[in-house]
Amino acid sequence: MPHRLGAMQTLPSPMRRFQENDLVDYCIVGVGSAGGVLVQRLARAGFRVVALEAGPFWDTEKDWVSDEKGSHELYWNDLRITGGTDPLALGSNNCGKGVGGGSVHWAAFAPRFHPSDFRVYSEDGVGVDWPMSYWDLKPYYELLEREMPVAGPAWFPWGDPHGHPYGPHPLSGRGDVLVRGCTKLGIRSVAGGPVAILSASHGDRPHCIYRGFCIQGCKVGAKASTLITHVPNAISHGAEIRAHAMASRVSVRQDGRVDGVFYFDREGKEQFQRARAVIVSGYAIETPRLLLNSACPGHRQGLANSSGTLGKYLMAQAGNVVAGRFEELIRLYKAPPAHALSEEFYETDPRRGFARGFAIQTVGPLPVAFAKQMVAAMGAWGWGMRRVMMDYNHWSTLGVLGEILPWEDNCVELAEEKDQHGLPVAKVTFNLHDNDKKLIEFGKQKVMEIMWAAGAKQVVQESRFAHLVGAARMGRDPSTSVVDKFGRTHDIPNLFVCDGSILPTQGSANPGLTIQALAARTADYLIKQGDAIFFSNRRDLSEPGIRYDLSPPYTRFKGNPRIA
Amino acid sequence: MTKKSLPYLATGGDLKDLEQPGFYPGYSTMAQKRSWEDATRKTVTKRVTETAPIRFFSEKEATLLRAVIDRVMPQDDRAEERTIPILSVLDERLYKNSLNGFRYEDMPPDREAYRLAIKAIEEMAQHRFQQSFHALTVHWQELILMSLHDGKPEPANAAWQEMPVRRFWAMLMEDCVTAYYSHPWAWDEIGFGGPAYPRGYMRLENGLPEPWEKDERRYEWNAPVDSLSELREESASKRGSEHDHKGSH
């Protein structure tokens, strides 16, 4: 049987294998949203690239199931310690393991950040400004929206208004609830996206079949993950994806440049991959953990940590789930969890008494997840649990997605516990601050109001968090940030970080699209710099200019409507 | 599964022995298994046909925990041969030390937490009613569990100094609902469509059933009315979250 990626696509074979002592140009650690895009870009540009992935290389037909409990292996299940006043749930909530990383189990909401998200400090006096503007990233948003591609409304009215290359999805009962509630209250909403799920077939990827198992891994191949969008193209162009390779530390030479990555292979034996440059794309927990674990003489506090900010300014978004019970049947398990939203409360409104805002989105918990939400939201147990679950098909769910600001005390550190390889595990600390609490309270009340307006007979809510970004933030000032605007570490000229951890602030948009857009931009920069990355310590911060010819074939210029 | 609540001691009344509780009589997800692809069919079928042996818990621990599970995820209305295994699923998770990707800093490792809790619950039963937990009446068992649910163990036991009650309660509930609601018989009970690949769904709106799904037929479901675990209005108000947050965004 060929290695399947979705219902129709197969993995290009054979994949190039570098020899043990081969020197490659780039070693990328982590093949998730960012790593997948990077490896594809760099391979197409002719670089010798090896990408290490701690988890398996999924065969979607054999390894994935259309089942909640059976999808446990998609997540980063290894031990981490979580604490603080508002500890974050990790694992299935926000961390992937395996080729495709978190993009395998994201719900695939793909809204852009707003222009204001890049200037949070200038506009609202909170958080920090990005070292780039929305307009620097916009061409990459447009490019990635075509490459994934993103389905959604022809007119998305918030932030920088735009359309989408694929038409919107049909609504389900859950989407109807959001649109009905918002409309009753005079709140604008959009339906059918933006979501990186195919509403019509695309090359060797079929359209969505509305089975609702998006976050269990899309066996259909309709939902975009770098496993099926960028990785196959990378392999066709000579990249090697090395699965079951858990990076343990980045190796630093005498002259202060990195020269490769130590990793544990499938058998648990330590190996070394020599590389002329290293890009860490391990996401907001594993990236700082790897750099902290790489501490060595000259870098006592961890690599790229002369500022002391590595691991700090970790962010998660408020993700309160509001559930409403209706007289009529909803059947909330049908259709993608992500398919309708409103960003009407996204921007700062001084009348609300806090900075920044939130989005309102559909969510679609399957029975196990919904039962857990009822434990939290209603204190259901015993016969009460049985009773509330018998009404599963009468419930509908909406989510708040609220911006939590970057705070120094929200951080990733090393714990005393060790993992199966003897590496210290990550300890994550998370505390809500005053602005965050006010924002969450307001957002929660607003979404409950919408649920009542939609006609719910009972409304309950559960506090939770979604997504993870920050912890190796980018900035202009090397004393307050870890990397520059292209992801290059301030301290080591041939060490890069490219994933969600470089985000200085997070807006109220799901970060997946932005992470991939940033990766495509970093790739353009690396390609333009060419060999200078490998030999020179000079830091050139000029814009690279976008390269459209690096897109996977058949995705170029697929008609992204431009709205002037 | 111990069928000790038949007749239900708290109510004094009888529960009907149902082949399939819930409002979707005659609905069977397993009947659809030929429409699923191989990997899913294998995973789900195994859940129905195979029950893992108890390997992590000792016999004594298993007896107590079985009694706890019978109250926090009661199945007394289900016919004996249609009860859903929960303890064995939990035991297998702990035996394999399969984690969910994190541990709260104020919690001991999952295995220790369960052992601590089992010991504490037994001591609570002995202290309050001078009997083993599994031998108590349903009502007394529920009184003890209710105090854990409320986060105010009665009597307060030293073990609860070592870990927050609410976190243990959340983990216990999470393990129980995961085992119960991942079973096809529970899907039949709540009218969930189950696996849907490669077939998918075509009727997305207005709660319409697919041709192979069933319409809802409501009736007065006979859960014991005076059970302490029945839903109480006030309990639905402001609560935080302790679970692993899967299923959203």
Task: Give the span between the Cα atoms of B197 and B180, in whole angstroms.
Answer: 22
| Beta strand residue intervals within A369-493, DSSP E | 395-402, 411-418, 424-429, 458-462, 465-469
- Alpha-carbon distances of B49 from A38, B70, B84, B183, B196, rounded to whole Å: 45, 21, 11, 11, 21
Distance, in angstroms, between A317 CA and closest chain B CA? 10
**CA quadruple A500, A505, A508, A513: dihedral sign:** negative
The angle subtended at Cα A482 by Cα A87 and Cα A407, nearest 5°, is 35
In sequence order, what are the beta bridge partners of A395?
A325
Distance, in angstroms, between A279 CA and closest chain B CA? 25
Residue B18: inside a domain: no
Of B249 and A168, which is predicted with more confidence?
A168
DSSP code per residue over B170-204: HHHHHHHHHHHHTSHHHHHHHT-----TBT--S--
User: Is A72's CB within 8 Å of B98's CB?
Assistant: yes
Residue B98: inside a domain: yes
User: Is B101's CB within 8 Å of A77's CB?
Assistant: yes
Q: Provide the pLDDT confidence category of residue A533 given band limits of 50, 70 and 90.
A: very high
Residue B133: inside a domain: yes
What's the rounded mean pLDDT across residues B148-163?
Answer: 86
Interface of A with B in 391-450 (CB under 8 A): 392-393, 397, 399, 401, 427-428
- Other beta carbons within 10 Å of A535: 12
Q: Residue A437: which residues within 8 A CB-CB, separation 6 or more?
A: none
Nearest of B40, B68, B39, B17 to residue B184 by alpha carbon: B40
Q: What is the CA radius of gyration of chain A?
A: 22
Residue B119: inside a domain: yes
Residue B102: inside a domain: yes
Size of interface A-B (CB pairs under 8 A): 299
Interface of A with B in 524-563 (CB under 8 A): none
pLDDT at residue B8, rounded to an integer:
47
User: Is A333's CB within 8 Å of B247's CB?
Assistant: no
Architecture of domain A4-545: 3-Layer(bba) Sandwich (3.50)
Q: Which residue of A has its CA nearest to B215?
A: A329
The whole domain housing B226 covers 30-236
Token code pair at residue A60: 């979607």
Q: Which residue of B has its CA nearest to A340?
A: B249
DSSP state at residue A196: S
pTM exceeds 0.90 for this model: yes
Q: What is the pLDDT of residues A326-339, one digit of tens each?
A: 999 999 999 999 99
Distance, in angstroms, between B123 CA and closest chain A CA? 22
Give how many domains chain B has, as a whole number.
Answer: 1
Residue B183: inside a domain: yes
What's the rounded mean pLDDT across residues A337-350?
Answer: 96
User: Is B221's CB within 8 Å of A385's CB?
Assistant: no
Residue B185: inside a domain: yes
Cis amide leading into A14 (omega within 30): yes
CA A485 to chain centre: 18
Task: Give the span between the Cα atoms of B129 and A72, in whole angstroms.
Answer: 40
Predicted-complex ipTM score? 0.93
Contact indicator for A293, A414 with CB cutoff of 8 Å: yes
Contact indicator for A207, A167 with CB cutoff of 8 Å: no
Which percentage of chain A shows pLDDT scores above 70? 98
What's the rounded mean pLDDT across residues A235-251?
Answer: 96
Residue B116: inside a domain: yes
Does residue A150 have a pLDDT over 60? Answer: yes
Tell me whether strands A321-325 and A9-10 are parallel, antiparallel or unpaired.
Answer: unpaired
In chain A, domain spans: 4-545
Does residue A559 have a pLDDT over 80? Answer: no
Q: What is the pLDDT of residues B165-208, one digit of tens each?
A: 999 999 999 999 999 999 999 999 999 999 999 999 999 999 99
